[in-house]
Structure 1
Amino acid sequence: MSKPSVAELRPVVHPPGVTDRRSGEHWAGRMYMRAISLRWTRHLVTTRVTPNQLTYLMVFAGLAAGAALLVPGLPGAVAAALLIQLYLLLDCVDGEVARWRGQTSVTGVYLDRVGHYLAEAALLAGLGLRAADVFAREGPAPDWLWAFLGVVAALGAILIKAETDLVDVARSRAGLPAAADASAAPRSAGLALARRAAASLRFHRLVGGVEASLLILLAAVLDGLGGDLFFTRFAVAALAAIALLQAVLHLVSILASSRLR
């Protein structure tokens, strides 16, 4: 089987709704990763690698990013950031291969969603363990408060995703079709204004895998200059607070919208 060109691939693997919907595509995908993934996909579609196998690799990369944060100092943060980029690449490639081969499946969608849950939770939990300094060779014992805050951030990130996914579950069990994007807007003018204001600040994005990995990398650089874990600990506390606040606000937004009607 000959390899398709990028021009041949693009209209098939990037149909309307994949790259043009801001709610359905990560900014990093639109900015650079989709262009990179096409070049990987054109080689992979002629191999025996299946879309689900690529999804499993995506999950592994996300979990490995969280584990990499247990390596002290800048090397661990750099490794985590690179692994998250690999995770994002595989997240693009698995769907592209599936669409080109006509192998899209409910199983693939399910694995993809589970992978997102696991990767973001692992990264934030790993940050908490990093902030607790669990592998310090000398000095005081680990401060488990930071590990706890990392777990709080991880649970908050999972809850945010679950709140979105459970809308479709609730509608399906009630015999309703999938909710349209327009129905996500709160019916209350005040809540709609607050939602737009929160969206403009973009703070909620910091608990996402790509954004969190870059924040963790920045904190590691600053910690290297300061000689302690102040910025890493500040990051985990901030992410825990953002995750919890966003989980509450997102739930209120869904309940106040027409998505459950």
Structure 2
Amino acid sequence: MSKPSVAELRPVVHPPGVTDRRSGEHWAGRMYMREISLRWTRHLVTTRITANQLTYLMVLAGVAAGAALLVPGVPGAVAAALLIQLYLLLDCVDGEVARWRSQTSVTGVYLDRVGHYLAEAALLVGFGLRAAGVLGGEDPAPNWLWAFLGTVAALGAILIKAETDLVDVARSRAGLPAAGEGAVAPRAAGLALARRAASALRFHRLIGGVEASLLILAVAVLDALAGDGADALFFTRLGVAVLTAIAVVQVVLHLVSVLASSRLR
């Protein structure tokens, strides 16, 4: 089987509604990863690798990113950031392969969602363990408070995704079709304005895999520049505290946003 060209692939694997989704497509996908993934997909569609196998690899890359954070210093943070980029690439490629082969399935969608839950949770748990100084820390014993906060942030990230996914579950059980984009906006004018303001600030994105990995890398560099002082993990711990606060606040705000919108009507 000959390899399709990028021009042949694009209209099939990037149909309307994929790359132009307001809430479904990550900014990194629109900015660069979809172009990179096309080059990978054109080679993969002629192999025996299935879309679901690529999804499993995506999950593995995401979980490995969290594990990489147990490596102290900048190297561990760099490894985690690179693994998250691989995770994002595979997240693009698995769907493209499925669409080219007309093999999209409910199982694939389910595995993809589970993969997002696991990867983002693993990254935040790994960040917490890193801040606790589990490996290579300055303290004689790990400070488990930071591991706990990282776990809280991970739970928050999972709950936020669950709040979104459970809208479709609730509508399906009520015999309703999927909610359209117009149903997202809160019905009350005040809440709609607050939602637009929060969306413009985009602080909630910091607990996403790509953004969190870049933040983790930044604070690792700051800790390295600060040297081996009394608190060599100051910036890492500050980052954990910030992400935990964002996750907890966002769980509440996102739930209010769902209940105040037309998504459940």
TM-score band by shorter chain is over 0.9
Contact 1:54 1:90 in 2 (8 A): yes
Aligned to 1:246: 250
Amino acid corresponding to residue 97 of structure 2 in structure 1: V
Q: How does 1:164-175 map to 2 (within 5 A)?
A: 164-175=164-175
Q: Distance in 2 between matches of 1:252 and 1:137?
A: 39
TM-score by length of 1: 0.99
Q: Distance in 1 between matches of 2:236 and 2:189?
A: 38
Number of aligned residue pairs:
261
Q: Distance in 2 between matches of 1:36 and 1:177?
A: 34
TM-score by length of 2: 0.97
Amino acid corresponding to residue 203 of structure 2 in structure 1: F
Deviation of the 1:137 alpha carbon: 6.4
Going from structure 1 to structure 2, the CA distance change for 1:69 and 1:31 (only over 3 Å counts) comes to same
Q: Distance in 2 between matches of 1:252 and 1:139?
A: 41
Q: Distance in 2 between matches of 1:233 and 1:18?
A: 37
- 1:16 partner SS: coil
2:184 matches 1:184: yes
Q: How does 1:93-104 map to 2 (within 5 A)?
A: 93-104=93-104
Deviation of the 1:21 alpha carbon: 1.5
Contact 1:51 1:108 in 2 (8 A): yes
- 2:98 partner SS: helix
Going from structure 1 to structure 2, the CA distance change for 1:109 and 1:62 (only over 3 Å counts) comes to same
Deviation of the 1:140 alpha carbon: 2.4
Structure 1 range deviating more: 88-97 or 132-141: 132-141
Q: Distance in 2 between matches of 1:218 and 1:30?
A: 23
Aligned to 2:28: 28
Deviation of the 1:24 alpha carbon: 1.4
Q: Distance in 2 between matches of 1:186 and 1:192?
A: 5
Contact 1:58 1:86 in 2 (8 A): yes
Unaligned runs of 5+ in 2: none
Aligned to 1:114: 114
Q: Deviations along 1:18-74, whole A, 9 cap, x unmatched? A: 001121100000000000000000000000000000000000000000000000000
- 1:49 partner SS: coil
Q: Distance in 1 between matches of 2:138 and 2:153?
A: 27
Deviation of the 1:138 alpha carbon: 5.7
Q: Deviations along 1:209-229, whole A, 9 cap, x unmatched? A: 000000000000000011211
Unaligned runs of 5+ in 1: none
Q: How does 1:40-51 map to 2 (within 5 A)?
A: 40-51=40-51
Contact 1:63 1:118 in 2 (8 A): yes
Q: Distance in 1 between matches of 2:23 and 2:97?
A: 22
Contact 2:70 2:129 in 1 (8 A): yes
Going from structure 1 to structure 2, the CA distance change for 1:137 and 1:206 (only over 3 Å counts) comes to closer
Contact 2:133 2:139 in 1 (8 A): no
Q: Distance in 2 between matches of 1:151 and 1:62?
A: 16
Going from structure 1 to structure 2, the CA distance change for 1:107 and 1:140 (only over 3 Å counts) comes to same
Structure 1 ranges of 4+ moved more than 2 A: 136-140
Deviation of the 1:139 alpha carbon: 3.7
Q: 1:256 aligns with which of 253, 260, 263?
A: 260
- 1:107 partner SS: helix
Q: Deviations along 1:175-210, whole A, 9 cap, x unmatched? A: 111111100100000000000011111100000000
Going from structure 1 to structure 2, the CA distance change for 1:217 and 1:138 (only over 3 Å counts) comes to closer
Aligned to 1:5: 5
Q: Distance in 2 between matches of 1:114 and 1:137?
A: 32
Q: Deviations along 1:110-169, whole A, 9 cap, x unmatched? A: 000000000000000000000000113664211000000000000000000000000000
Percent identity between the aligned chains? 85
Going from structure 1 to structure 2, the CA distance change for 1:35 and 1:204 (only over 3 Å counts) comes to same
RMSD: 0.7
Aligned to 1:161: 161
